[in-house]
């Protein structure tokens, strides 16, 4: 939790790389191709949905009498921020698998 270390050399990757390049992270030390693990992605999505529900529920009292779309906008913004926070909280990286599907596609290579 909260580590974002390379699974091969245990060097910590910056948090900006984990958020901006979720599927194409490169280890700063060994240059290994990394990505967010499946657990991190599911945990982040679940946290974002929970944050959106919380913003919708809390916004019902705060934004009562405002424009009707204000709680919806608050829920969307809360999804973005809370899912990013949960991705950083999980912070588990995995080695990116090589694209084996492209090699097995039924095209003859020349
Ligand atoms: Zn590494």
Token pair 């909260």 is at which residue? 2
List the pLDDT tens digit at each of the 110 positions of the chain: 677 888 888 888 888 888 888 888 888 889 888 888 899 999 999 999 999 999 888 877 777 777 878 888 889 999 999 999 998 888 888 888 877 655 666 666 55
For ligand 1, the distance from its centroid to the CA atom of residue 37, given in whole angstroms, is: 15
Please tell me whether residue 11 adopts helix, strand or coil conformation: coil
Annotated domain spans of the chain: 15-97
Q: Which residues surround ligand 1, an ion (CB under 5 A)?
A: 6, 8-9, 27, 29-30, 32
For ligand 1, the distance from its centroid to the CA atom of residue 33, given in whole angstroms, is: 9
Q: How far apart are CA 13 and CA 42, in angstroms?
A: 20
Instruction: Write b or e for each residue in 39-67: b if 16 or more Cβ atoms lie within 10 A of its Cβ, otherwise e.
Output: ebbebbeebbbebbeebbeebeeebeeee
For ligand 1, the distance from its centroid to the CA atom of residue 9, given in whole angstroms, is: 4
Would you say 74 and 55 are in contact if contact means Cβ atoms under 8 Å apart? Answer: yes
For ligand 1, the distance from its centroid to the CA atom of residue 1, given in whole angstroms, is: 17
Would you say 33 and 95 are in contact if contact means Cβ atoms under 8 Å apart? Answer: yes
For ligand 1, the distance from its centroid to the CA atom of residue 61, given in whole angstroms, is: 48
pTM of the complete model: 0.75
- pLDDT score, position 50: 94
For ligand 1, the distance from its centroid to the CA atom of residue 14, given in whole angstroms, is: 12
């Amino acid at each position: 939790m909260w580590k974002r270390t390379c699974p091969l050399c245990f060097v910590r990757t910056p948090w900006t790389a984990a958020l901006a390049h979720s599927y194409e992270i490169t280890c700063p030390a060994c240059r290994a191709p990394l990505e967010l693990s499946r657990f991190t992605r599911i945990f982040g999505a679940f946290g974002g949905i929970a944050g959106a529900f919380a913003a919708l529920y809390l916004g019902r009292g705060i934004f009562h009498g405002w424009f009707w779309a204000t709680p919806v906008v608050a829920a969307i913004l809360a999804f973005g921020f809370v899912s990013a926070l949960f991705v950083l909280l999980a912070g588990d990286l995995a080695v990116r698998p090589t694209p084996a599907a492209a090699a097995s596609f039924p095209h003859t290579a020349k």
